[in-house]
Structure 1
């Protein structure tokens, strides 16, 4: 096509001849049909994209939950790319995609339509499943995508309970190779939306889908991130299950009130909240994440999506404490003490050492505590020592001599305290200036 063919046609000029074979109409085809064929070719080029391996925490969390065979619910504003992500996920995993718009179906489309047979008194009345469920069973595997879940009526949501949890549609049992993912818009941005019922919400792992600028720009350029199932390390499976059970059970023993806590507000009941069912999902996700070696950020998305933000963050903090070194081991050999690199974990380990000395205060243990603090000074930041050093000093008995290790810490602690006081004085002076200026 030449540039002149893109210009408006001159009504007085004769029509140009179609000399290019690509622009010539097929035998028996009208000019309009040929132009539509060219438009189809252009659309095909626009829709042709490729994928690439690219770190994407949202996609990694989604694929891990799918691998764990847990129902997932993607929350996001309209147009954010939830449907596109599910389409690409099905293609990457080579799973047939079955999309069911929940809001345009009746409850019988999920619970089954009663069909009276020849002898209902003997055979009963079977609940006939819809066509899409029959096709899933025939395929033996697939990705069932329940879209627009937040616009489904309460009656439809009730009918979906068995589909999501038991994988039953009418009298039909979906095969183990079928995975379930749903999508919903927040009620405020949904067309005639409803809050999710608590029983249905508690069956899902909730992931909140947001757009990533770089992913969107690169994707519109024709390259999207590739969804891949997590690579589970075979030698870590047993260890991962034991770790997940120890972590969740230990946490719930310490926080029994979080075993089941139904939120008070209707909106929060439609999201993730803790129950024995959702804790089981969190345990499963923790085992899969450990076996796959996922990042803490991905694990946080999954755990919070299963039991809610508050309980999920508490469980993650509990996992950190599980990784802390034993304070008695540190006190037994301070010179070889291995302290965490991360600042908050290092300070927690030092505070545990001080607490252990306080629980059994003896001079040798008190001196070993100071040796651990010196070891911390040699291997990390000094500002983390102020609080534990102050607490350890308060444990001194009158007949205990001050060890030489304290001298190595005196200047550091004093300098840190002077710095803190300087910051406080600067903040107070700034506040006074703002007060004067406001007058």
Structure 2
């Protein structure tokens, strides 16, 4: 018989409790978590968030950690086990319904949130809630109303859902409900799980907004979104054609407003591009979101005229695609106003690009710039270095093509 059998009956659970306490005695370590950072910013921006992920990967644990970090009481409501009346309110007949009407009584969890004045409302298993319940949730998510009660401004809403393939009796989200959320994909990190099971779980420093950046962040976000939509008006509203896509993020005036708010918050917090990408794509979808990110990248590019005015002080982007755009813009500026001094300045910029980046990026700009030369313009000394690099790069391209290794 195991030693456990020798323990008096009254103490067996006490021993079990000691073992459970030892299992729960874990340490924490600081670790960057882009998922949690994106979630925190969206919650800070007072936008409803929907976490998509397979069962058992830590969505609920992340919400618990976030609630503790923000000092918010966590209220969990399993959407799939509730009736529509649990969100729209139960009718209560008063003394004189013909005069007073019939009020809609809210559920107890909503009353507790109103009394507390703040909290994190977690709507779990949203994808297994039937369409009638999803319809009742529309008013909760958009208007923050539960029956006759209005949830206070201090309440934030986060939901979680499993993909339909892994949800028991799952339903696709209705387009009106899906378009009210910022959709974030939640995945587990193998290293985090292994290290956590070994006794050390991660903790994350939540992003902080810089008060000095707030006005500029708002101006930047408005310029980014309005600039894209002015150039691409068909992106303002695009209802997806298939049912599955309609249950995720897609562009509408409402979701573009959410994207604008998220860009402002991400800018004020100085977040990484990875976090900004997750937020923007979670609001308006992958395609429009990537277009917006590309537009934001172009907003940060230096003005070709500024570069031509002082090539010695120029700082070119590190990313190859952005550097290529800048060099093409410089050559286009010289083409639009061809002058010898501007032509020479452009060669100086190409020389800088050659010294600080991949030589193949200067091949096309150099060839185009050389074709712009007037007969009376002196050839700058830097052109010999560039000609050698261009020739070498072109020979490498031809060799690569001959060996069938194209697709650099």
- TM-score range relative to shorter protein: over 0.9
Q: How many Å apart are 1:175 and its aligned residue?
A: 1.0
Name 1:208's counterpart in structure 2.
185
Residue 276 (1) aligns with residue 266 (2): no
Name 1:437's counterpart in structure 2.
none
Name 1:159's counterpart in structure 2.
136
How do 1:56-205 and structure 2 match up within 5 A?
A: 56-205=33-182
Q: How many Å apart are 1:8 and its aligned residue?
A: 9.3
Secondary structure of residue in 1 paired with 2:102 = coil
Residue 412 (1) aligns with residue 386 (2): no
Match of 1:317 among 294, 300, 312: 294
Partners of 2:41 and 2:377 in 1: CA distance:
56
Match of 2:354 among 364, 370, 377: 377
Partners of 2:126 and 2:73 in 1: CA distance:
20
When residues 123 and 428 of structure 1 are mapped into structure 2, their CA distance, relative to the original with a 3 A threshold, is closer
Name 1:263's counterpart in structure 2.
240
Residue segments in structure 1 that go unaligned for 5+ positions in a row: 10-15, 17-22, 26-30, 430-439
TM-score by length of 1: 0.88
**Larger C-alpha radius of gyration, 1 or 2?**
1
Which string of whole-angstrom CA distances, capped at 9 and with x for unpartnered residues, describes residues 82-139 of structure 1?
Answer: 1122122222322211111101100010011111111222222111100110011111
When residues 228 and 132 of structure 1 are mapped into structure 2, their CA distance, relative to the original with a 3 A threshold, is farther
Q: How many Å apart are 1:319 and its aligned residue?
A: 1.1
Partners of 2:398 and 2:330 in 1: CA distance:
27
Give me the CA root mean square deviation.
2.0
Partners of 1:200 and 1:397 in 2: CA distance:
62
Partners of 1:375 and 1:119 in 2: CA distance:
83
Q: How many Å apart are 1:228 and its aligned residue?
A: 4.5
Secondary structure of residue in 1 paired with 2:403 = helix
Pick which of 366-375 and 144-153 moved more.
366-375
Partners of 2:239 and 2:16 in 1: CA distance:
54
Residue 287 (1) aligns with residue 264 (2): yes
Name 1:241's counterpart in structure 2.
218
How do 1:306-345 and structure 2 match up within 5 A?
A: 306-345=283-322
Secondary structure of residue in 1 paired with 2:32 = coil
CA contact (8 A) 2:340 2:377 kept: yes
Q: How many Å apart are 1:388 and its aligned residue?
A: 1.2
Match of 1:304 among 261, 277, 281: 281
Q: How many Å apart are 1:222 and its aligned residue?
A: 3.1
Which string of whole-angstrom CA distances, capped at 9 and with x for unpartnered residues, describes residues 5-50 of structure 1?
Answer: 74698xxxxxx6xxxxxx5x5xxxxx1x421232233223323444
Partners of 2:155 and 2:21 in 1: CA distance:
30
CA contact (8 A) 2:32 2:205 kept: no
Residue 46 (1) aligns with residue 23 (2): yes
Partners of 1:428 and 1:129 in 2: CA distance:
67
Residue segments in structure 2 that go unaligned for 5+ positions in a row: none
Name 1:434's counterpart in structure 2.
none
Secondary structure of residue in 2 paired with 1:207 = strand
Q: How many Å apart are 1:399 and its aligned residue?
A: 6.0
CA contact (8 A) 2:4 2:12 kept: no
Q: How many Å apart are 1:208 and its aligned residue?
A: 0.5
Q: How many Å apart are 1:309 and its aligned residue?
A: 0.7
Instruction: Figure out how many residues of one structure are paired with residues of the other and give that number.
Output: 406
Which string of whole-angstrom CA distances, capped at 9 and with x for unpartnered residues, describes residues 301-356 of structure 1?
Answer: 11111111111111111111111110011112223322122222211110111122
CA contact (8 A) 1:74 1:207 kept: yes
Match of 1:55 among 23, 32, 47: 32
When residues 221 and 423 of structure 1 are mapped into structure 2, their CA distance, relative to the original with a 3 A threshold, is same
Partners of 1:75 and 1:176 in 2: CA distance:
25
Q: How many Å apart are 1:389 and its aligned residue?
A: 1.1
Q: How many Å apart are 1:142 and its aligned residue?
A: 1.0
CA contact (8 A) 1:93 1:229 kept: no
Partners of 1:209 and 1:37 in 2: CA distance:
37
Partners of 1:223 and 1:244 in 2: CA distance:
38
CA contact (8 A) 2:127 2:167 kept: yes
Secondary structure of residue in 1 paired with 2:306 = helix
Q: How many Å apart are 1:405 and its aligned residue?
A: 3.3
